[in-house]
Amino acid sequence: MARAPQVLRGMRDFLPEQMLLRQHVLNTFRDVFERYGFEPIETPVIEYLETLTGKYGEDEKLIYSFQDRGERDVGLRYDLTVPLARFVANHRNELTFPFKRYHIAPVFRADRPQRGRYREFWQCDADIVGTKSMMADAEVVSVWIDALSAINMPGFVVHINHRKLLMSLAEVAGVPDEQTPTIHRAIDKLAKIGEDGVLEEMKSNGIPEDAARKVLDLVSITGEPDKVFDELANRLAGNELAEEGIAELRALFRFLDQMGAASEHYTLDLTLARGLDYYTGPVFEAMSVDANIGSLGGAGRYDGLVGMFSGEDLPATGCSLGLERIFDVIQERNLVDAPSTVSKALVTVFNEDTIGDSLALVGELRRAGIQSEVFVGEKLELRRQMQFANRKGIPLTVILGPDEIQAGQAVLREMESGEQTTISRNDVAETIRTRLGLS
């Protein structure tokens, strides 16, 4: 004991039962993404370091970087968005635009681990490249809502804001542009620390009180989106950035409504400030009010990112879901049913002399498309094999002893009920298929 090496900090192993649940979630997401016309791609886990740097702002320090054997400076991907931009820049002549892709893969961050925060975690991204239309942003929000709904995520809401509105705040308040991040950081905490806290935070970071109040008044506007947009348009009249942002958000909300997106799952939130440098338009964050695990996903429009690689601007928007957080919630709350094992049937082995009969039968079951296994242990007591099936949750066992073999029969046992039926050896595969609802 205690001699076995540990896994690296912030990284984990998954047992088969957990993997079956993860795969179930991933398959659900894949289905939803493909229902919207998103197509799969894959990119390398490792990129040249320069591909990754200069895209994330402050967070850049969390990139896992090192030198490979050829002394190249490389890094593990920090998200799937920057690799997508690089991918599009490389393959732009081979793609049909608007290009819709999904990408489900692990990413790495050298962050300090906590609940729901790991150093290796999977992201599930869906993005649309090559259009500025707010239809694309609406699709992204909608696919997100459908994906989270499909796995029964409780009480989730997609918060929506706009980068251009956020950028106009400093201007409106009359403080220098460098203060913009400070303002964003402060207002993002409104729900958490309240108005006084936000004012205090801005003031202690050198923002004059009247400017701080002006900002707070603006982002505190709530209500029906259209009303909020009218109010904002009024107060921000003449501010070009803000006007663009408002117009785009109006279109986005109209499209969402026309698509029939479930309105209880999205909301305008003027305090939402997403930190990543590359966002340029609408920004989104998916949160579960019930689950207490932070955000489930972040998203937004990043019209300048592809251009950083190709010199040719291609607008893009997309969303990202964090599998580990979703998985942790599902597991804790038992939200999704997934089988505990892959096998549907266990063919038992009576003794050394009947091994051949059992092997022949399991082969037949497999050719009939039934996920099945034969007991491959060394000790062949039947009770041991029953126990094996029971513990793994295999629903059916086939008992094939000398009596059955002699009579050309087999005994099919339903493990949950204990009910046994003797059937003809020739009917085993078909009977099992019927029981499993396969034919």
Partner RNA sequence: GUGCCCGUAGCUCAAUCGGCAGAGCACUGGUCUGUGGAACCAGGGGUUGCGGGUUCGAGCCCCGCCGGGCACCCCA
Query: Is there binding between residue 340 and RNA (CB under 7 A)?
Result: no
Q: Which of 149, 204, 263, 387 binds RNA (CB under 7 A)?
A: 387
CB distance 126 to 100 below 8 Å: yes
Pseudo-torsion of CA 262, 267, 272, 274, nearest 10°?
20
What is the full DSSP assignment across 188-206? TTHHHHHHHHHHHHHHHTT
Interaction of residue 26 with RNA, rule CB under 7 A? no
Nearer to RNA, 274 or 301 (CB): 274
- Return the residues of window 154-183 that contact RNA according to CB under 7 A: none
Q: CB-wise, 185 or 250, nearer to RNA?
A: 185
* Inter-residue contact 128 to 317 (CB < 8 Å): yes
Beta carbon nearer to RNA, 248 or 324: 324
Dist CA 422 CA 415 (whole Å): 15
What is the dihedral angle through the alpha carbons of 229, 281, 128, 29, rounded to the nearest 10 degrees?
-70
Residue among 96 and 417 whose Cβ is closer to RNA: 417
| Count of residues interacting with RNA (CB under 7 A) | 66
Helix axes 134-150, 240-259, angle to 10 degrees: 50
1 interacts with RNA by CB under 7 A: yes
Closer of 47 and 246 to RNA (Cβ)? 47
Query: Do residues 372 and 366 lie in contact, with contact meaning Cβ atoms separated by under 8 Å?
Result: yes
Cβ-based neighbours of 3, under 8 Å, separated by 6 or more: none
CB of 327 to RNA, least distance (A): 10
One-letter amino acid for residue 118 of the chain:
Y
Pairing between strand 39-40 and 99-108?
A: parallel
Quick note: the x/- pattern for RNA over 71-90, rule CB under 7 A, is: --------x-----------
Say how far apart CA 242 and CA 173 lie, in whole Å: 13
Task: Report the candidate in 342, 354, 367, 437 with the shortest Cα–Cα distance to residue 399.
Answer: 354
- Are 124 and 30 in contact by the 8 Å Cβ rule? The answer is no
DSSP code string of 379-409: ---HHHHHHHHHHHT--EEEE--HHHHHHTE
Min CB(34)–RNA separation in Å: 21
15 binds RNA (CB under 7 A): no
Amino acid in position 63: I
Residue 321 binds to RNA (criterion: CB under 7 A)? yes
Region from 144-152, 212-220, 255-263, 394-402 binding RNA, contact rule CB under 7 A? 394-402
Q: Which is nearer to RNA, 115 or 227 (CB)?
A: 115
And the tokens for 222? 């709530």
Q: Is 296 in the site for RNA (CB under 7 A)?
A: yes
353 binding RNA? (CB under 7 A): no
Check residue 234 for interaction with RNA (CB under 7 A): no
**Binding residues among 107-126 for RNA as defined by CB under 7 A:** 109-119, 121, 123
CB 176 within 8 A of CB 170: yes
Q: Rule CB under 7 A: say whether 403 interacts with RNA.
A: yes
Q: Residues 46 to 65: which contact RNA by CB under 7 A?
A: 58-59, 62
Instruction: Select the span of 92-100, 169-177, 339-347, 417-425 touching RNA (CB under 7 A).
Output: 417-425
Which positions lie near RNA, rule CB under 7 A? 1-3, 6, 8-12, 58-59, 62, 79, 109-119, 121, 123, 185, 189, 192, 274-276, 285-286, 294-298, 320-322, 324-325, 350, 379, 381-383, 386-387, 389-391, 399, 401-404, 411, 413, 415-418, 420
